[in-house]
Amino acid sequence: MHYCFNAFVLDTQNRTLFCNNQRLHCDERVILLLAQLIDAYPAHCDQACLLEHIWPNTVVSSWSVARLISDTRKLFEAAGLKVPIIQTLHGRGYRLSPDIAAIIRSDAVANSFAAQDIVSDKATSAANTNTLQPAQKKPYFTLPGLVLIAILSSAVFALLFYSQIERNGPLVLAEPHNVKARILWVDDHPENNQAERQFLEQKKIGVYTTKTSSDALTLLSLYSYDAIITDMGRGSDPLAGLKLMQAIRERGINTPIYLYTIMPSEALRQKAQEHGAQDIAVEAEDLYQHLMPLIRYADEGVE
């Protein structure tokens, strides 16, 4: 089976991957991983499922899946893919990125319609072989007329826009409505936390995302936040979260910090707390529980 997205072509039968007609040399397990995620979409694949399909009858470490996911992401990023290839669902597993799934689906639909068009064109061509073509019609509008229509349309839209502003009051940019608290969320894959951010925003908590530690430190020097959430590894640095916590505390910032990770352990919790974190969370419910005082304050307006 062939799957096309952006400049990539994935051949699951021959277990090959091409980018711009050039074969990408990669671990065969990358192909198996993508095939499994594509077949399962829109459902996700948990760790046990991936271990069973990618390493059948083999005993491997539970970290093997996380490492393969990381290697796959790096492969596509290095090849120029601008959207995430895999989505992490905290506490559940992994899923094909909705962006990639949409591209694959649209490509399949386009190919289907293209095949239908070829058949239709052949039939139409045969039927019209001896039929005279109608004379070409003159355009309904001349160039000056089109220019006049464009000017009038712009004027109407401008009038509607400003009248809407006058009715609804001034525009408010960047800040969600009725925000009672603010969280800075540091994660190089913010799309993985969309559901959690939506939940917090419904509780009148503004969530501001950034992908790098340096940007996070800059934002903390400019604005005040009620809590900070960070992932553990970012890019090629598996300790990025711990380093960020340490840098924040060294700057004298006492904002509560929570580590949101898919690989919890007591050792990691202890290490995170040593670097200044309040606690770690692996599932959304754990995170909400840690943030409950802030959620209650924002939701009820009382401490």
Least confident of 1-5, 238-242, 262-266: 262-266
Mode of pairing for the β-strands spanning 86-89 and 22-23: unpaired
Give me the residue label for tokens 């809590």. Answer: 227
CA 275, distance to chain mean position in Å, is 28
Token readout for 22 is 């050039």
Q: Is 211 helix (H, G, I), strand (E, B) or coil?
A: coil
Structure tokens that stand for 101 in this block: 């799934």
Residue 84, amino acid: P
Mean pLDDT of the chain: 81
pLDDT at position 254: 93
Taking the alpha carbons at both ends of the chain, their separation in whole angstroms is: 57
192 contacts 239 by C-beta, under 8 angstroms: no
- Cis preceding-peptide flag for 293 (omega within 30 of 0): no
Closest by CA to 191, choosing from 76, 110, 90, is 90
Give burial (CB, 10 Å; 0-12/13-18/19+) of 94: buried
Dist CA 254 CA 64 (whole Å):
36
Question: Of 268, 281, 278, which is closest to residue 91 (Cα–Cα)?
Answer: 281
pLDDT digits (tens, 9 = 90+) for 53-77: 999 888 877 788 888 999 999 999 9
Question: 302 φ, ψ to 5°?
Answer: -135, 155
Q: What is the DSSP string of 74-142?
A: HHHHHTT--S-SEEEETTTEEEE-HHHHHHHHHHHHHHHHHHHHHHHHHHHHHHTTTPPPPPPPPPSS-
DSSP 45: B
Tell me what the mean pLDDT of segment 30-54 comes to: 92
Q: Percentage of residues in the chain with pLDDT exceeding 70?
A: 77
- Segment 103-161, tens digit of pLDDT: 888 766 555 444 444 444 444 455 444 444 444 555 555 666 676 777 777 766 666 65
Tokens of 111: 């190919």
pLDDT exceeds cutoff 60 at 173: no
Q: What is the pLDDT of residue 161?
A: 56
- What tokens were used for 294? 């802030």
179-208 pLDDT, tens per residue?
888 999 999 998 888 899 999 988 889 999
What is the average pLDDT across 270-277?
92
